[in-house]
A and B are shown apart, each in its own frame.
Chain A
Amino acid sequence: MKTIVIGAGLGGLLSAARLSKAGHEVEVFERLPITGGRFTNLNYKGFQLSSGAFHMLPNGPGGPLARLLGEIGADVHIIRSEMTTVRVPLKKGNPDYGKGFKDISFSDFPSLLSYKDRMKIALLIVSTRKNRPAGNTLQAWIKAQVNDEWLIKFADSFCGWALSLKSDEVPVEEVFEIIENMYRFGGPGIPVGGCKGVIDALEAAILANGGKIHTGQEVSKIMVENGKAAGVLAESKEHKADLVISNLGHAATALLFREALSEKIHADYLKMLETLKPSAGIKICLAADEPLVGHSGVLLTPYTRRINGINEVTQADPKLAPPGKHLTMCHQYVAPENVKNLESEIQMGLEDLKEVFPGKKYEVLLIQSYHDEWPVNRAASGTDPGNETPFTGLYVVGDGAKGKGGIEVEGVALGVSSAMKKILG
């Protein structure tokens, strides 16, 4: 069985590693000179910044990505984060970090509610495990249960950090699937070596299985014969294959087989393509001599204007920064209407950080933004259309085809796993 993988991002390499392990003859084509896509390290002034992701696996050593890496035999050490904390104002009615703040544990979020609402939440935590809410956005669902602005802010900071969406954009079903996965697999972890630690291990596995990875080779066409994928055209050369896996998302993949698409026969697929919306975000990378977050987990910041959450990966792997330095990464959601105002969005993020870290010394290393063709997610979480395409033997993986309830790379892993199930049985 000959398999061609288009794109050496996380989804592509996971698929290549899994299929080469199953005995497929695998070739990966990557147009950039580097592998890893938005999940690798960028060396910047001696710091291991990332090309996209936050050097974090949302479900840590017990999650879907870790499990898939284990199945493949990719050797990655994932350090479970110690805690997730939430920075809240000292006085609830005074929602301004400038007037003082305290950090509470993620699971203590009900402590800011009235006694009556705390009881309500306690009941909901039990009842929703059996009767999952559905048919609403997270925000509309919360508002129907408990009328407290704090819960919306908390939900927005979590959705902003984890999905780069606002709580009124996320289907409540997706959030409860995420919560279920938190129970099932546990909270976040950091791979030693950062994102590239994972990518290196995957490449080693692919090469050990006899697979090939070509960088600097762009696929310009997916060949389709009799409704079935037949190979690709890369740098004007035809490569035949029995199976083609694209890591480019459905929209960009469709551009590669547009000649084979028929407006009549594939009307539903074409309609679906139009509904896909990539999510946008900004990452501000900070260097500091003293810890800013102080633990290896996530610090959520619900009372800022823009920043949703922050992690400090050097708490788990000090080698991600030069000796004695910390690398702290801050994420902010960007609303679709603000993608054209990135400068002012960034300015608000930087102002937020002054209030979140008063009196702390840090240097802004690099500010990275992601949207449209190079987004946070090619399909906003909760809207992923699955792995299938109109053609047999052609599958889409990656952040445009995530599995349900998987945050970011966990969703990529779940999507790859379901594609592998279809292919390998």
Chain B
Amino acid sequence: MKINDNCVGCGQCASFCKKGAIEVRGRARATDACVECGLCIPYCPVKAIEVPA
């Protein structure tokens, strides 16, 4: 999952991730546990999560 510079670090994505695969510290970062399911994408309020190619 690619997270772009729009990210403010609000952590909303982390709370909807079913795999606990998002770490947040100033901004979000997908860990190795990410399965690219894309579930978090619509929950981002600043459109920071990009659809995997």
State the A residues within 8 Å of B (CB). 32-34, 37, 42-44, 49, 51-52, 216, 342-343, 345-346, 366-375
Contacts and interface: CB of A to CB of B under 8 A. Distances in A.
A120 B15 CA distance: 50
Contacts of A343: 25-26
A366 B11 contact: yes
A366 B45 contact: no
A32 B24 contact: no
B15 A44 contact: yes
Contacts of B49: none
A43 B10 CA distance: 14
Interface of B: 6, 8-12, 14-16, 24-27, 42-43, 45-46
Given A43-B15, A346-B26, A370 B10 contact: yes
Contact of B11 (A367, A371, A372, A375): A367
8 contacts: A44-B11, A342-B9, A367-B24, A368-B10, A368-B24, A373-B8, A373-B45, A374-B10
B42 A32 contact: yes
Nearest to B45: A374
Contacts, number: 62
Contact of B45 (A32, A49, A216): A32
A371 B6 CA distance: 10
A216 B11 CA distance: 19
A207 B47 CA distance: 29
A33 B42 contact: yes
A37, A44, A375: most-surrounded residue (chain B CB, <10 A): A44
A33 B16 CA distance: 11
B42 to A, nearest CB: 5
Given A366-B24, A369-B9, A34 B43 contact: yes
A43 B14 CA distance: 10
Nearest to A34: B43
B46 A374 contact: yes
A33 B24 contact: no
A300 B24 CA distance: 25
A374 B8 contact: yes
Nearest to B11: A368
Contacts of A370: 8-10
Given A42-B16, A368-B24, A373-B8, 11 more contacts: A32-B42, A342-B25, A342-B27, A343-B25, A367-B26, A368-B10, A369-B8, A370-B9, A371-B8, A373-B6, A374-B8
Contacts of B14: 44, 366
List 3 A-B pairs, minimum CB-CB distance, nearest first: A342-B26, A369-B9, A42-B15
A366 B9 CA distance: 10
A51 B42 contact: no
A346 B25 contact: yes
B30 to A, nearest CB: 15
A110 B48 CA distance: 47
Contacts of A32: 42-43, 45
Contacts of A346: 25-26
Nearest to A280: B8
A6 to B, nearest CB: 14
Contacts of A37: 45
Contacts of B9: 342, 367-370
A18 to B, nearest CB: 24
Contacts of A368: 9-11, 24
A405 to B, nearest CB: 27
A51 B6 contact: no
A369 B9 CA distance: 5
B26 to A, nearest CB: 3
A372 B42 contact: no
B5 to A, nearest CB: 10
A374 B12 CA distance: 11
Given A42-B15, A44-B15, A52-B10, A369 B43 contact: no
A337 to B, nearest CB: 15
A250 B46 CA distance: 17
Nearest to B8: A374
B32 to A, nearest CB: 19
A147 B12 CA distance: 43
B19 to A, nearest CB: 13
A42 B44 CA distance: 13
Contacts of B8: 369-375
